[in-house]
A and B are shown apart, each in its own frame.
Chain A
Amino acid sequence: MFLLIYSLLFALTVIFALGVLLFENTVKSAVSLIFTMLCIAANYLLMRQEFVAFIQIIVYAGAIMVVFLFVIMLLNLREPERTPWYLRNMRYWAGALAFLFFFVLAWAIQVFAVSDVAPGAAALEELRRESGQAEVTQLATLMVTQYVVPFLLTSVLLLVAVIGAIVMARRKDEDGHEIVLDEEEEDA
């Protein structure tokens, strides 16, 4: 029963992933990608990783893909654009890279599955066996004790990205003055 559900879900994931590549319409590709994300979340659920599953949905299927879809809709990419010369043979390069990536991924999974190279995963597993607490509690405990520096560094990285986005989004006129769109602000 479990195997049946698992293989069905796996097949669905692959079908949607193929849909991302094969749909000519960009919006359909994006929708397909959303469903791929949801299927991956369902796979996590079957592995009893509830927290990761729903974070996957919130972050990828919920937040990132909305922005994707938003941008695609605003651009309205119906006609395929003319490709520049350096992208003409993209297909073959992409194929080769995908092949390489597949091997790297397979190797990584092999390594991380059998050894304790992934210290975070190993520590989490150990904590779970010891305490029998909820998954989230353990994850949070690890994040603010053992891995507090990487955790904080990630937040700094995100902050940099946000500031960068704001700087790029700020429009300036020819003299280098900022364009203020909100009239109320000026008055106040």
Chain B
Amino acid sequence: MQPFFDFLGQFTGGAANAFVIVTSVLKIALILGGVLQVVPFIIVFERKIISWVQDRPGPNRVGPFGLLQGIVDGVKLFFKEEIMPRGVDKGLFLLAPCLVVIPAFLAICIVPVGPIIQGEHLDAYAGFFGLDPGMVGTNGEISHVAMAISNPNIGILYLLAITSVGVYGITIAGWSSNNKWSLIGGIRASAQMISYEITLSLAVIGVVLLAGSLNLYDIIDSQRGGFWHWNVIAQPVAILLFVVAMFAETNRLPFDLAEAEAELTGGFHTEYSSMRFALFFMGEYVNMVIVSAACVTLFLGGFLGPVPLPWDALIEQFGLAAILAFYLVGPMVILPAKIGFFIFLFIFARATLPRLRYDQLMTLGWKYMLPIGIINLIVTACGVAIDMAITQDGQVGWVTKVSIGVVTLAMFLGWELLIFSRNRRAQLAREYRNLFRKESSSDPALAS
């Protein structure tokens, strides 16, 4: 392989640059291609699960068990007529679907799908591909290769920035369609997404505090050592908030007020047809994969397995095969399984929960989730500060993590119980009053 990179290096200013470019292109092709290939199958999966919940067979004509239905649907959308309604704002109408899809794909860039290849392992790979150890290797120009398209220091901020830009596609689609329902859908979407973004950020900050870094690989490293070290133990309330906010951010049921077929005939994408509609559809599913991947990375240890295996001993015994397994089991098995769980959760929620009313949505976001997020953050910050003051090693110990988790969960459950009992009492009072009103209204003379 070395002559190939030497040849490319003539155009890119050095063989190392060529190596970086080639590996980046490969990573983009693999990760982006993987996600894109999975989308049609998620759609089939969704239709199947919903049909099972509703006790009907679901799609079963195309391919074995109807598995190819998603691809056929895609082809159908591709060949449909593209309708441009009269009175739309042409430029913005065409821009909107792009603004949905581009941020979704941009966000994939930083999801770590596997461990960083470095040290002896990198030497082994370089030897396997016949690369110059001066270029790729422990002492070479390139001393580590991360299994993520990009690994910026401020990974989390990147993710939040991209999700905050993702609102525009839907909002602009709603406005440019020149349709009342679309406009209502677009406005609902933007109000909803800016409200829940705050909760999302608050849930994330707790994890950042525990890891002491914004880098996603650092965050995963802080969860190393088995499932009892995962952030879900320290942040049980935050993951709950994150999951709810993530449903709202992707406009999925029970938060799909922007689409709301029953009242808005499809909301922001009412006027879209053919591939433009397909782009919205695809953007939604890619977004689902991304937020699931983000949740897994932040709270469930990312590509780490549930139990730490003695990899050093295994590599000692089996050599390159074990090294390959060490690097591939994360991206090929563990990460897809964890993401798959969240996708299932998305679908199952859609099959079981009714849509929220708009004021309920806002009440939930601002009066319940935001205060819970702030209190969770304060407790976490106190815990981390106490731990730092005692141990002074710059890392949060396991005992602290568990105690933070227990305290936040206890406070959360206590608060829930309080609200529940208060609501129950209010409901009883209301029923009683209604009873009284009815009796008195039967006699107009008494009522006045």
Residues of A near any B CB (own CB < 8 A): 25, 27-28, 31, 34, 38, 41, 50-51, 54-55, 57-58, 61-63, 66-67, 69-70, 73-74, 134-136, 182, 184, 187-188
From DSSP, what is the main secondary structure of chain B's interface residues?
helix
Q: Which residue of B lies closest to A56 (CB)?
A: B161
CB pair B89 A25 closer than 8 Å: yes
Chain A binder among B54-62, B64-72, B168-176, B240-248? B168-176
Could you jot down 10 A-B contacts, CB within 8 Å?
A27-B172, A34-B168, A51-B154, A57-B165, A61-B161, A62-B164, A62-B165, A70-B171, A70-B187, A182-B359
Minimal beta-carbon separation of B368 from chain A (angstroms)? 13
Residues of B in contact with A (beta carbons under 8 Å apart): 89, 91-92, 95, 152-154, 157-158, 160-162, 164-165, 167-168, 171-172, 175-176, 183, 186-187, 190-191, 193-194, 197, 213-215, 359, 422-423, 426, 429-430
Out of B152, B167, B186, B430, name the residue touching A73 (CB < 8 Å).
B186
**Beyond known contacts A27-B172, A51-B157, A73-B186: 15 more, CB 8 A cutoff:** A25-B89, A38-B165, A50-B153, A58-B157, A58-B160, A58-B161, A58-B164, A61-B161, A62-B161, A66-B168, A67-B194, A69-B171, A136-B153, A136-B214, A187-B429
Closest Cβ of chain A to B85, distance in Å, is: 17
When distances are taken between beta carbons in the complex, the residues of chain B under 8 Å from A61 are: 161, 164-165
Q: Determine the chain B residues whose CB is within 8 A of the CB of A73 once the complex forms.
A: 171, 175, 183, 186-187
Main secondary structure of the interface of A (DSSP, over half): helix
Cα distance A182–B164 when bound, in Å? 29
Contacts of A57 in B (CB 8 A): 161-162, 164-165
- Contact partner of B164 (CB less than 8 A), chosen from A31, A50, A63, A136, is A63
Assembled-state Cα–Cα distance A45/B440 (Å): 71
> How far is A187 from B430 in the complex, measured between Cα atoms in Å?
7
Nearest CB in chain B to that of A50: its residue: B154
Are the CB atoms of A188 and B423 closer together than 8 Å?
A: yes
Is B426 a contact partner of A134 (Cβ separation < 8 A)?
no
In the assembled complex, the Cα of A51 lies from the Cα of B267 at a distance in Å of: 36
Interchain nearest-CB distance for B115 vs A (Å): 20
Q: State A149–B305 Cα separation when bound (angstroms).
A: 45
Report the Cα distance A34→B359, complex, angstroms. Answer: 29
Contact B164 A55 (CB under 8 A): no
Q: Which residues of A contact B186 (CB under 8 A)?
A: 73
Q: Give chain A residues whose Cβ lies under 8 Å from the Cβ of B215.
A: 134
Residues of B within 8 A of A70 (CB): 171, 187, 190-191
In the bound complex, residues from chain B placing their C-beta under 8 Å from that of A182 are 359
Contact in complex: B168, A135 (CB < 8 Å): no
CB distance from A65 to the nearest CB of B (A): 8
Q: Are A27 and B187 in contact (CB under 8 A)?
A: no
Q: A55–B214 Cα gap in the complex (Å)? A: 13
Given the complex, which residues of B lie within 8 Å of A62, measured CB to CB? Answer: 160-161, 164-165, 167, 197
B423 and chain A: residue at smallest CB distance: A188
Expressed in whole angstroms, the Cα–Cα distance for A66 and B359 within the complex equals 20
- 8 cross-chain pairs, A with B, having the tightest CB-CB distances, nearest first: A62-B164, A57-B161, A54-B157, A188-B426, A54-B161, A58-B161, A50-B154, A134-B153
Min CB distance, B113 to chain A, in Å? 21
Interface pair A134/B187, CB less than 8 Å apart: no
Inter-chain contact A66/B161, CB cutoff 8 Å: no
Q: How far is the CA of A135 from the CA of B429 in the complex (A)?
A: 57
CB contacts (< 8 Å) of B89 on chain A: these are 25, 27-28
Question: For residue B183, which residue of chain A has the nearest CB?
Answer: A73
The reply to whether B422 and A28 form a contact with Cβ atoms under 8 Å apart is no
The docked-state distance in angstroms from the alpha carbon of A73 to that of B173 is: 12
Smallest CB separation, B37 vs chain A (Å): 29
Find A187's partner among B153, B171, B426 (CB 8 Å cutoff): B426
On chain B, the residues within 8 Å of A184 by CB distance are 426
Does A66 contact B429, Cβ atoms closer than 8 Å?
no
The residue that A136 contacts in the complex, of B154, B162, B176, B194, with Cβ under 8 A, is: B154
Say whether A188 contacts B171, CB under 8 Å: no
Cα of A184 to Cα of B419 in the assembled complex, Å? 14
Which of A62, A70, A188 has the largest number of chain B CB atoms within 10 A? A62
A30 to B104, CA, bound (A): 22
Distance in Å: Cβ of B385 to nearest Cβ of chain A: 12
Complex interface: chain A residues within 8 A of B162 (CB): 57
B160, closest chain A residue (CB): A58
Which single residue of chain B is at the shortest CB-CB distance from A45?
Answer: B152
Chain A residues, CB < 8 A from B91: 28
B168 with A63: CB separation less than 8 A = no
A25: chain B residues at CB < 8 Å are 89
Contact in complex: B154, A54 (CB < 8 Å): yes
Complex CA–CA separation, A58 to B191 (angstroms): 16
- What residues of chain A lie closer than 8 Å to B154, measured between beta carbons? 50-51, 54, 135-136
Complexed CA–CA distance, A63 and B168 (Å): 11
Contact yes or no, B157 A188, CB < 8 A: no
Query: Contacts A57-B165, A58-B157, A70-B191; is A31 near B426 (CB within 8 Å)?
Result: no
